[in-house]
Amino acid sequence: MEKADRNHNQPRQQGSLQNRRAGLEAEISVPPGMFLVLLKVAIRDHLGRSQDCSEARTVFLQEAKRGPMASALPPNFSWVVPGLLAGLGMPRLPAHYQYMHEHGIRHLVSLTERSPPYHDTCPGIRVHRLRIADFCSPSVEQIQRFLQIVDDANAKGEGVAIHCLLGYGRTGTMLACYLSKSHKITGVDAIQEIRRLRPGSIETYDQEKAVVQFYQRTK
């Protein structure tokens, strides 16, 4: 009898959840495909710190009303090849992904050991993980993988962005390798050029050496 009662109540519970969702959608302006994505982010980041569902709902509404679909310039963002390849620090807000998407970026190469936050708020950008420890240089395989991602994406007219934590060391190293290959310039010249475009790039001797050695292998 109890089992039958529970089954009988399921449609009512589902209807209640649908009504709650409809109520939330009425309070905020969110494109239909993004509602569940934003709700998942809110639950993941806030409900884990509190068991109060009403608090999670309040936080979600505050974030949504602030304009989660608005765009904002990501930290240390700049183009190396306009429209095709950019470098940046770790994106930290949904608005950073929206900015990249609005500017034609469809691939984000992540060099940090942890994944960038909120990347699941923008399904239109594919994240490629190439984990490199801070202040370290990429392996030969990682450099080749990055260059292949860029070539494949650019062939389809899709932009690529690459990030580490701040967008200087690991990011600059990869971008210099790209310039060395694509512009057919020496490793030293590629380092100088990426530092001109993105001051502060390539922070350690090992990172400089990685660029020079990449050039020597591919010249």
Catalytic (active-site) positions: 164
Phi, psi of 34 (to 5 degrees): -100, -10
Reading phi first (left if > 0) and then psi (alpha if -120 to 50, else beta), residue 155 is in alpha
Neighbours of 65 (CB within 10 A): 12
